[in-house]
Amino acid sequence: MLDGTTAEIRERQALRINPAKTCQPIGAMYAALGINGCMPHSHGSQGCCAYHRSHLTRHYKEPVAATTSSFTEGASVFGGLANLQQALENIFTIYKPKIVAVHTTCLSEVIGDDIPMIIERARREGKIKPDQLVMHTNTPSFVGSHVTGFSNQCASTIKYFSESSGETKNVVNLFPGWVEPADMREIKRMAKEMGIEFILFPDTSGVLDTGHTGHYEMYPAGGTTLEQIKAMGDSFQTIAMGPLASKAAAEELEKKCNVPSRLLELPIGLSNTDAFVNAMRLAGQVPVPASIEEERSRLIDMMSDMAQYMHDKKVAIFGDPDQVTALTQFLVEMDMKPVIAVTGTPGKAFEAKIKEICAEKCPEVEARAYSDVHFLHQWIKNNPVDLLIGNGFGKFVAKAEGNIPFVRFGFPIMDRVGHRAFSTIGYTGAMRLIEQITNAFFDYRDRNDPDEKIELVL
């Protein structure tokens, strides 16, 4: 069954097979979980909410709490006003969150529910008390991807809550983009090493990577607090990482509170991390500490040590645009050849950026936005590669093509552990990526070399 994909490539306009993305509400839910005391609410059917929760739970190996308007046939025809009003009343009575973050689904978008009107009416009728906070964002699943939903939720949060007191403070806003909780921890660690004051938003560390205490907490201690979200309007600068995931929020804060922003690629690999460290250095007007310099030197040493295994290896990569773009840059830095890069998220900017990165090392690169893993598999059948990088769904392609070396990276990964606990951000994260890539090559050799060629030292 895994080898049922044919090598003949046909252009498809109205069909995606195994798309390299999922839907907007999942991203909105993940971003909302990065707010302290927030309950994500899915305005749609129970099935939608169950799918989104289970996807996040399986990836992060943590229980994900979320509520739903529980649409049935009646709400689908006549609208979800009554469902949402009753849901909000129940949520605050039973679960007592600090904030409820309502996001829409396909169904509520198609029927045209006016969420702000429903929320305002619920307030007038006393179903939401004056001190109970509710926000909303529109996340139709038939537009964009999970990264789009993450972006929309972040921008809506700022639109609802960030404010300027008129007094600019010596604080930098850090928007991490869609990355793992471990990556958010690493971003905070590096900022502390640099000695700058910061607010990270959103922050899923301490929420989706909590320790085992024997007691269930619906709202763990982690996440960006409401006070911090409000205070972002008084910061003197925003450093936004990941253009697709963070740009909208940075622009919203700049428009609303006049906080200037600097947009960077995700700090994956050497040059992208250099750019992030330099941005913090300039923002804080501080020198780069020796500890950060040492981390960088150790990364360069590992890149040099492993160069013989990386040189000119052909790599296929798929996933989210921000992550694929940053990782492609790192592959080029390691003297590898990214020959194809695929994302399921629409946007021609992705293709142009990939071609720009690969212009010198691999000008023939195939870059596809709004594509799928099926096309990637067909392409690999016609153009064999040495390494595949992508989320957990890539293992079917790797197995069908002779168990080619495969490194899991991105969202979702449901068949391995470690991605939520060990960062791939920054200099230390880049070292972990090198470890994973070289070990994939070594494991492939150990599996496939004849006995007389198996070496203890590769």
d(CA 176, CA 178): 7
SS3 assignment, position 391: coil
DSSP element (H, E) containing 186: helix 181-194
d(CA 95, CA 364): 54
d(CA 32, CA 36): 9
SS3 assignment, position 217: coil
The structure tokens listed for 27 are 């991203």
The structure tokens listed for 19 are 């798309």
Nearest to 179 by CA among 386, 30, 282: 30
Calculate Rg over the CA atoms of the chain: 23
d(CA 241, CA 259): 16
Cβ atoms of 20 and 344 closer than 8 Å: yes
DSSP element (H, E) containing 241: strand 235-241
Catalytic option among 49, 106, 171, 315: 106
d(CA 267, CA 242): 9
d(CA 98, CA 77): 32
Amino acid letter, 309: Y
Q: What are phi and psi of 305, to 5 degrees?
A: -65, -35
Is residue 106 part of the annotated active site? The answer reads yes
Nearest to 344 by CA among 379, 384, 376, 315: 376
- Half-sphere exposure of 145 toward its Cβ, with a 13 Å CA cutoff? 22
List the catalytic residues: 106, 110
